[in-house]
């Protein structure tokens, strides 16, 4: 079973691509969902994050991801330290899930990893898919324009990510156009 990463810019349609790949028989993992599951007060990772960022990130006895982003996106040093905690944990969990399903009946394994290149995880995969779309369209999809800009400043340039990807899908059209690109990509993902 081939191991494939899906990445791209903010609001480019990575999750939509993953849903379409799942419909084609892929086992799909979402790195953001893994982070969410790791950020619980009772976990070692959760405690490390609280120790790093302070108890102000706790709301109603839970770690609040918005509070985390408020702290780290205004403090690059803390962002780097947070990523040093979270990225290895996410990497381990993706690899664990791959090992658990690789002998199964799925056509291929897909991990949605928004920070694939920033985390240096691209070498963990047989192929990478970069999802691109028009910047104005991505901005319109994102719920908060200021947050879009703030987060974008901390990411590698999209042109750099695209040039490093095995495959690029354009999500500036409609869902049918994206579906067609995915159908054309499936044989390559299966290694044919």
- pLDDT by residue (tens digit) across 162-186? 999 999 999 999 999 999 999 999 9
CA-based R_g, the chain, Å: 17
Residue 157 has a pLDDT of 79
Do the Cβ atoms of 87 and 124 come closer than 8 Å?
no
Q: Both ends of the chain: CA-CA distance in Å?
A: 12
Cα→Cα distances 117→45, 93, 143, 161, Å: 22, 17, 24, 7
Q: Give 16-39 pLDDT, tens digit per residue.
A: 999 999 999 999 999 999 999 999
In the chain, % of residues over pLDDT 90: 79
Residue 192 has a pLDDT of 54
CA distance 183 to 43: 40
Confidence band for 81, pLDDT divided at 50, 70 and 90: very high
Q: Could you give the domains of the chain?
A: 3-34+86-189 (3.40.50.300)
CA distance 11 to 121: 21
Mean pLDDT of the region 97-121: 95
How are beta strands 58-59 and 62-63 bridged, if at all?
antiparallel
> Tokens 């709301």 identify what position?
59
Confidence band for 135, pLDDT divided at 50, 70 and 90: confident
Residue 98 has a pLDDT of 97
Best CA proximity match to 10, nearest among 145, 152, 120? 152
Do the Cβ atoms of 56 and 137 come closer than 8 Å?
no
How are beta strands 62-63 and 108-112 bridged, if at all?
unpaired
Q: Which neighbouring-strand residues pair with 109?
A: 3, 27
Average pLDDT, the chain: 93
Say which range, 97-111, 117-131, 133-147, 175-189, has the weakest mean pLDDT.
133-147
DSSP H stretches of helix in 24-174: 31-38, 44-53, 65-72, 76-101, 135-141, 145-152, 158-164
Judged against a pLDDT cut of 90, whether residue 106 lies above it is answered with yes
Judged against a pLDDT cut of 90, whether residue 156 lies above it is answered with no
């Amino acid at each position: 079973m081939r191991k494939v990463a899906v990445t791209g810019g903010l609001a480019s349609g990575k999750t939509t691509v993953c849903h379409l790949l799942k419909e084609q028989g892929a086992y799909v993992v979402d790195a953001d969902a893994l982070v969410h599951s790791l950020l619980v007060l009772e976990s070692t990772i959760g405690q490390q994050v609280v120790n790093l960022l302070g108890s102000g990130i706790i709301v109603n006895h839970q770690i609040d991801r918005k509070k985390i982003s408020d702290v780290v996106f205004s403090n690059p040093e803390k962002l780097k330290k947070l990523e040093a905690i979270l990225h290895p944990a996410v990497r381990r969990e993706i690899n664990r899930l791959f090992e658990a399903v690789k002998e199964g009946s799925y056509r291929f394994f897909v991990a949605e990893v928004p920070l694939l290149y920033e985390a240096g995880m691209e070498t963990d995969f047989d192929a990478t898919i970069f999802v691109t779309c028009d910047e104005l369209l991505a901005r319109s999809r994102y719920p908060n324009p200021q947050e879009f800009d703030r987060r974008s400043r901390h990411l590698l340039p999209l042109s750099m990510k695209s040039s490093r990807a095995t495959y690029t899908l354009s999500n500036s059209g409609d869902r049918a156009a994206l579906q067609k690109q995915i159908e054309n990509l499936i044989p390559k993902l299966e290694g044919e």
